[in-house]
Amino acid sequence: MKIELDQSEIHAALKHFIEDKGFQITDQEVDIQMIAGRGANGHYAQITLTELEDTPDDSSVAVQPNSMLFPPDPEPSEESNDATLDPAEPALNFDQ
């Protein structure tokens, strides 16, 4: 029998393994680094558990778009002639 695991399956198995060893990982960030050693060192995994910081509930946080990325739409002015462009004239003039 041959069993093949991809990286996500290996990570899931390692998380299950460390939970079975008594580590609580529900409020932890689990970082797993797979390392391929040379010769007798073989392959191994380095697992780092980092406690997650308390974050506010998403429903209580109002997200505002960055005004530099999303500037407000300009108000049309009466001086603006954008609506009265002559379709016969080119919008861009490269002959200047």
Q: Model confidence over 28-69: pLDDT tens digits?
A: 899 999 888 888 888 888 999 998 876 555 555 555 555 555
Type of residue at 12: A
Euclidean distance between the first and the last CA atom of the chain, given in angstroms as a whole number = 76
Residue 45 · residue 58 · CB < 8 Å: no
Answer yes or no: is pLDDT of 80 > 60: no
The answer to whether position 35 is within a domain reads yes
Q: Is residue 22 part of a domain?
A: yes
Look at the chain and report how many structural domains it folds into: 1
For residues 86 and 81, give the distance between their C-alpha atoms in angstroms, rounded to a whole number.
10
Instruction: Look at residue 87 and tell me if it is in a domain.
Output: no
Q: Which residue range(s) make up the domain with 47?
A: 7-51
**Residue 20 lies inside a defined structural domain of this protein:** yes
Strand partners, 51: 28
In sequence order, the 6+-apart residues with CB closer than 8 A to the CB of 13 are: 5
Residue 34 lies in a domain: yes
The whole-model pTM stands at: 0.49
Q: Answer yes or no: is 82 within a domain.
A: no
The reply to whether 89 falls in a domain is: no
Nearest residue to 34 via CA among 61, 59, 8: 8
